[in-house]
Structure 1
Amino acid sequence: MTTKTPTPSSVDNPAKPYFGIDVPFMDHIGLQPVSLDESSCHTHLAIDTSLTNSRGDLHGGVLMSAFDFTLSAAARAHDPLQFGAVTIEMSTHFYESARTSVHVMARCPRRGKSIAFCEGEIRDETGKLVAVARATFKLIALNK
């Protein structure tokens, strides 16, 4: 399998800021792309009161959305301008609440021709492990 590392222009394209694609919902929640390599992805989510639950913690659904995007980016990281990813399944385990901005890290330890298996973690600004997730994705060619 040939792997391609995204060029700075593909990662930093203002029209498609999410590693070569436009994802309006990620823009809506404020998820920021940080880095992408051939098998991993890093994003950052700043805390905002509109994203919190009644206790002031980042809402679990927001964290799961951040996981879904970041894990899917790791799934397609080998060729991000040629592939999209559709979630087949995702499981999430929450360990702690998050009251600060968070870092979402994902990696793809196994990728076949059309299926990718990914895992990730969310840590708060102090390094505390907030949640972990695993997901399976169907890779979809974008230009077909």
Structure 2
Amino acid sequence: MAILASADQVSFFGYHIPYLEHLGVVPVKCENDTAITRMPIKPHLVNSRGHVHGGALMSVLDFTLSAAGRSHDLTGVSMATIDMSTSFMAPGATDLTIKATCIHRGGSICFCEGEIRDADNKLVAKATASFKMLKVNR
């Protein structure tokens, strides 16, 4: 069951997601098959080399990709990840911007792609994913 954000909670494009709050994800935009988020670098997100951990990168990609997929109906649809393929190009050592696009939406499955760029616009990671779209019972 999806949990809608209340007035005193961070709204991740309509939903309350405590895990994303923990990561420090900042929702920026979600409309017209596109979603943009930011993830400021924080000490609890880094690995032993001081770069943002790959798991944190994959988490924010997964969310941002799924948000692009539900951008047509922000709180009427929730998403379940079917698969996700991620490629890492460079270490994430600064605040990050994540941009995702829904490239195809069928009746119950959508396909999305996205990327993470650092503060200098350097490509850090990119991903493709497919999601099962689930109707939310309100």
TM-score clears 0.5: yes
Q: Which runs of 4+ in 1 moved over 2 A?
A: 10-16
Matched, 1:22 2:16: yes
Residue correspondence of structure 1 range 21-60 to structure 2 within 5 A: 21-60=15-54
Match of 2:121 among 127, 131, 140: 127
Q: Distance in 2 between matches of 1:78 and 1:96?
A: 32
Structure 1's unaligned 5+ residue stretches are 1-9
SS in 2 for 1:64: helix
Aligned-pair identity (%) = 44
TM-score (norm 2): 0.93
Q: RMSD of the TM alignment (CA)?
A: 1.7
Provide the aligned length of Structure 1 versus Structure 2.
Answer: 135
Match of 1:111 among 95, 105, 108: 105
Equivalent in the alignment of 1:6: none
TM-score (norm 1): 0.89
Contact 1:13 1:20 in 2 (8 A): no
Structure 2's unaligned 5+ residue stretches are none
SS in 1 for 2:81: strand
